[in-house]
Amino acid sequence: MPPAHPFDTSALRDVGDDDKLKEECGVFGVIGVADASNFVALGLHALQHRGQEAGGIVSHDADQGFQSARRFGYVRDNFTSQKIMETLPGPLAIGHVRYSTTGSKGQTAIRDVQPFFGEFAMGGAAIAHNGNITNANALRRELIERGSIFQSSSDSECIIHLMARSLQRTIPERMEDALRRVEGAFSVVAMTRTKLIGVRDPLGVRPLVLGRVGDGWALSSETCALDIIGAEFIREIAPGEMVVISKDGIDSQFPFRPQKSRFCIFEHVYFSRPDSILGGRSVYETREAIGRELAKEAPVEADLVCPVPDSGTPAAIGYSLASGIPYAMGIIRNQYMGRTFIEPTEQIRNMGVRLKLNVNRALIAGKRVILVDDSVVRGTTSRKIKEMILDAGAKEVHFRIASPPTAWPCFYGVDTPQREKLLAATMSEEEMRDHLQVDSLKFISLDGLYRAVGEAQGRNQDQPQYCDACFSGEYPVEPADQIESGFEMKAAE
């Protein structure tokens, strides 16, 4: 086979983003509008940051029944085609953008791409899921032993099989029955021939919001996707809530045992788009508040505050405002690079970060620079960025990180490296500073992060207000499959 062209962007893994936690997935659904699939395609485009590997849409039309299209790659490269969109008619549709957190990571098969569809005695249903089922292996074994035949490697398919085996009369009742068996995190958007359904797990780990679009309704992972279709944001789906939307209106119920909410705090730090609203708060304003808190906790004398684009930008602005140190775009991102890059040689691989980010030398030379980033996972990208800044003539490099050290993997819908590959799992803050070879390195404290997201008293140690397992090692739902595979939970203090 001839060697791949170094600027062929059609395959392999992300470059420069390999040191970030991968977004989970995005879900979107619309009912009660003409050509609902077009609205879904727009919504998925706005949620593209939550998954870039693949996307899918299922629609229903009274004459043509259920129709589906699943494709690899960006929404813009697939679901802007009139030819494809004409195959998805009807006033009801749901969609999903995927980053694989289970199944064959990086080698997604088309059968793993959601939404999944099932034909039941009372009619068909499609389902799209954001999150991770922590008892999926046990459920899959049980279902296979009872005769289920799985088509994908995704944990989400378990929900369809559990629905198929349920003895309940209606599809919403079967879904409710199935989800009671599921552990972990799930925000689900589903559809029947006449209904749009949205469900959040009892802890509300992953987001799901409701919007009004014309005479119809929309469900979305984030409010920014409602904005793109001109929908009015109505409210968040509550933790443990199930809404069933039809031409008769919205039916809301709470089918699960009530639990205290544990929304993912990292949605505020990184995953969600800065123009979204979470828990009644602007994500942008929260990230700016994180920067302000970081400036109070970890001041340092310097000449410039520079974000690591793009996720570090609001926190860097907050740090600058609180510290009085000028803000500057010391690193420029190439917006046209895309998310993937063929890496045929070591030389090209080492160019990876420079292909995405370039240092603004005129600003940096001779300056003491504070670099603000959202997280440090493996540390590989941080080291490369530090080297670029020094190569540009910086006098000092100080890292300020807008999240606490990521020391534990996430099992609720985020692709986290194995624990031993997380820098903070094996090193102290000082050891990480030495490893990255920077003048100083400081992370925001867990209490500081909680204050920035609106918890004035910080973290409640007895009943944490958020899921912060990636920082604390305290998992609100025991990751049964991982423990069975040998994962060791944090020892009780």
Tens digits of per-residue pLDDT, 303-350?
999 999 888 999 999 999 999 999 999 998 877 655 444 444 555 555
Give the per-residue pLDDT at 334.
Answer: 79
Identify the bridge partners of residue 358 per DSSP, sorted by sequence position. 332
| Residue in 25, 224, 264, 410 annotated catalytic | 25
Q: Are 132 and 411 in contact (CB under 8 A)?
A: yes
Q: Residue 273: pLDDT above 90? A: yes
Average pLDDT over every residue of 10-22: 45
State the pLDDT confidence band at 414, using cuts at 50, 70 and 90.
confident
Give the per-residue pLDDT at 11.
Answer: 30
CA distances from residue 315 to 116, 311, 335 in whole angstroms, order as listed: 38, 8, 20
Q: Residue 387: pLDDT above 70? A: yes
Cis ω for the linkage preceding 314 (within 30 of 0)? no
State the pLDDT confidence band at 130, using cuts at 50, 70 and 90.
very high
Q: Residue 69: pLDDT above 50? A: yes
Identify the bridge partners of residue 55 per DSSP, sorted by sequence position. 71, 97
Q: Residue 491: pLDDT above 90? A: no
Determine whether 249 is exposed, middle or buried from the number of CB atoms within 10 Å of its CB (0-12, 13-18, 19+): exposed
Name every residue whose Cβ is closer than 8 Å to that of residue 81 and which is 6 or more positions away in sequence: none
> pLDDT of 209-237, one tens digit each?
999 999 999 999 999 999 999 999 999 99
Active site residue 467: no
State the pLDDT confidence band at 103, using cuts at 50, 70 and 90.
very low
CA distance linking residue 209 with residue 226, whole number of Å: 9
Burial of 70-85, coded b for 16+ CB within 10 Å and e otherwise, reads bbbbbbeebbeeeeeb
- Kindly report whether the global pTM for this prediction surpasses the value 0.95: no
Q: Are 293 and 402 in contact (CB under 8 A)?
A: no
Give the per-residue pLDDT at 102.
Answer: 47
Give the per-residue pLDDT at 408.
Answer: 96
Mean pLDDT of the chain: 90
State the pLDDT confidence band at 352, using cuts at 50, 70 and 90.
low
Give the per-residue pLDDT at 33.
Answer: 97
Alpha carbon dihedral 109, 266, 306, 309, in 10-degree steps, equals 20
Average pLDDT over every residue of 450-479: 96
Q: Which of 220, 216, 219 is nearest to 249 (CA)?
A: 216
Q: For residue 168, what are its two tokens?
A: 């309940």
Give the per-residue pLDDT at 20.
Answer: 64
> pLDDT of 78-99, one tens digit each?
999 999 999 999 999 999 999 8
